[in-house]
Structure 1
Amino acid sequence: MNAVTGKFDDPVTATASSATGPALGEVEFQYLRAFVLEHCGIALGEQKRQLVQGRLLRRLRALGLSNFQGYCELLRRDPHSELGELASAISTNVTSFFREAHHYDLLTDELLPRWLQQKRRDGDRLRIWSAGCSTGEEPYALAMVLAEALERSDGTLDAKILATDLSPQALESARKGVYSLERLAGISAERCQRWMLRGTGEYEGLACVHPRLRELVTIEPLNLLHPWPMSGPFDAIFCRNVVIYFDQPTKQRLFRRYADLLPTGGYLFLGHSESLHGINDQFELIGRTVYRKLGR
């Protein structure tokens, strides 16, 4: 029976279990592989079965399901209700404040001063998109350098950062903006003093982002593979350590869509292990994983 559209009535895969919970059978695994590729753009190799099984067992328990057959049937009935949780479970959200510091140095030393001068002169707005914002460290770090640039420019400007992610848990953390003190390691002491509020009493060991940063950041759910509600343009798009999970055709489509939302000369920032080489020719590499959109 077809692994994607058929019913899951194989008695072996439906009832098999492991020492820690139900086992992920062949039929269910192939269905999940096809589902994740279609809806998330993530290509799961055959060797990922144990990883998928281990990470989804928590979802089975949370949903009160006794086997993966039931989980696959849930996805077939209502694919969108569980999509964020599934994507969050099978991907690894590794992030930190000011990760890949050279990106923020470029913003601080060159891009933001130039943009602010131009936009104040022309009456334009400034927009940055953190695509795949995870638990919020990236957009709040961007907000710190943006807020500091605005202060130095001695004026007001319509400037905002859009932060999006597919994972409901990651978005909840980002909206709270509360982090353990250990997670502030990438922030300088001066910036911690300026932008992070230390908790006391029952909040000892935690810190909250300054309200000014919240003003600059808008956090919304978004599946990068689905239609986007925003029309741009963005001055810069940060999509770091996201496309490492995608197959080649998905990367090509995604970067074309990013190019559509960037003006000529707009910037695209990727993660340290990512590249546009052989994927998209609409950008030129100008620094370490920093690309600028070409004119046509």
Structure 2
Amino acid sequence: MIMLELGDNEFQRIRDIMYAHSGVCLSAHKKQLVISRLRKRLADLKLAGFQDYLGLIERPGSTEMSNFINAITTNETYFFRHSAQFNVLYEKILPELVAAKRGGAEPLKLWSAACATGEEPYSLAITCLEFFKMSRAPIKWVVYASDINDEVLERAKRGFFPDRSLRKTPDPIKDRYFYRVHSDEDPRQAGYELDHALKGRVEFLTHNLLAPFVYMDMDVVFLRNAMIYFDETARHKVTGLVTRAMRSGGYLFISPSESLKAEDYGLLPYGSSIYRKL
């Protein structure tokens, strides 16, 4: 394996470019992460080092910027991460939202912001399917899923997941919504294929959280494990834009490891890392 060196000046340029184009703030100790994430891209392009790569992505008209952002922002996740929040959604929030919408024509709208490879929005869709199968409420619903990373969105749309993505998924859910895929030739090709009908329940779209969302009046927004990549200024802007896309009475879910000043955004604490918009 070729040893790649990333000088301090080059690393700072990468940090500046990443922040300018995505709002993601790479901390000073992320240099090795950047090297590991970009190594394959440099090899694919047959570039000798980061100086050449920076010249490429900064070139006017270059199409490499999206590949650069994709390489840096790819993150691992799994189905029903922070499962207690999905339990609250199923047991308390969905019944409240359905009761408020009875007789109305508007569908229930859920949004997985920064959805990565799709585990979160599909978990939302499964939760809705399970709830409406039980309640038989005649309410239409839709799950929107967005990410800045086009590559992970394509993976999400394919609906194939390795075993590790379902490590917290109950067996009955696996049986109802997934098909087991075996591969004797290459174990890496083994995993789970999502039921085709479930794939159609999620609408994926490319979106930068620093820009207004294309849809409004969200009933439920999951904005989890994304804010850690932004500085305080960007976090404030993102949270403001997300809450602006929510309807009054909508619910915002954040990661249990994150925090926000609810009163700054017209939110009231509802539960563990869950907020309700006034």
TM (norm. structure 2) is 0.89
8 Å CA contact 2:119–2:165 kept in 1: the answer is no
**Aligned match of 2:218 in 219, 234, 240?**
234
The correspondence for 2:100, drawn from 118, 130, 142, is 118
- Paired amino acid for 1:270: I
CA distance in structure 1 between the aligned counterparts of 2:275 and 2:156, rounded to whole angstroms: 26
Shift in alpha-carbon separation, 1:155–1:44, aligned structure 2, 3 A: closer
Do residues 56 (structure 1) and 41 (structure 2) align?
no
CA contact (8 A) 1:163 1:219 kept: yes
Q: Evaluate the alpha carbon distance shift between residue 181 and residue 94 of structure 1 in structure 2; reply closer, same or farther with a 3 A threshold.
A: closer
Moved over 4 A (4+): 200-204
1:167 aligns with 2:152: no
Q: Which runs of 5+ in 1 are unaligned?
A: 1-18
Segment of structure 1 superposing worse, 200-209 or 219-228: 200-209
The higher radius of gyration belongs to 1
Tell whether the 8 Å contact from 2:112 to 2:144 is kept in structure 1 after alignment.
yes
Matched, 1:138 2:123: no
Structure 2 residue 188 is matched with structure 1 residue 206: no
- 84-93 vs 39-48, which deviates more? 84-93
Bigger mean CA deviation after superposition, 34-43 or 271-280: 271-280
Residue in 1 that maps onto 2:201: 216
2: CA distance, partners of 1:288 / 1:84: 35
Count of matched residue pairs:
275
Give structure 2 stretches of 5+ with no counterpart. Answer: none
- Structure 1 residues 41-60: Cα deviation after superposition (integer angstroms, max 9, x where no partner): 22223333233223212111
Aligned partner of residue 198 in structure 1, secondary structure = strand
TM-superposed deviation, 1:34: 0.9
Rounded to whole Å, the distance in 1 between the matches of 2:204 and 2:176 is 22
Comparing 131-140 with 278-287, greater Cα deviation is found at 278-287
> Over the residues paired in the alignment, what is the CA RMSD in angstroms?
2.3
Residue correspondence of structure 1 range 271-290 to structure 2 within 5 A = 271-277=255-261, 280-290=264-274
2:139 corresponds in structure 1 to 157
Aligned equivalent of 1:191: 173
Equivalent-residue separation in structure 2 for 1:139 and 1:198 (angstroms):
20
- Contact 1:180 1:207 (C-alpha < 8 Å) held by counterparts: yes
The answer to whether the 8 A contact 2:212-2:241 is kept is no
2:8 to 26, 42, 62: 26
| Matches of 1:223 and 1:268, distance apart in 2 | 18
**What TM-score do you get using the length of structure 1 for normalisation?**
0.84
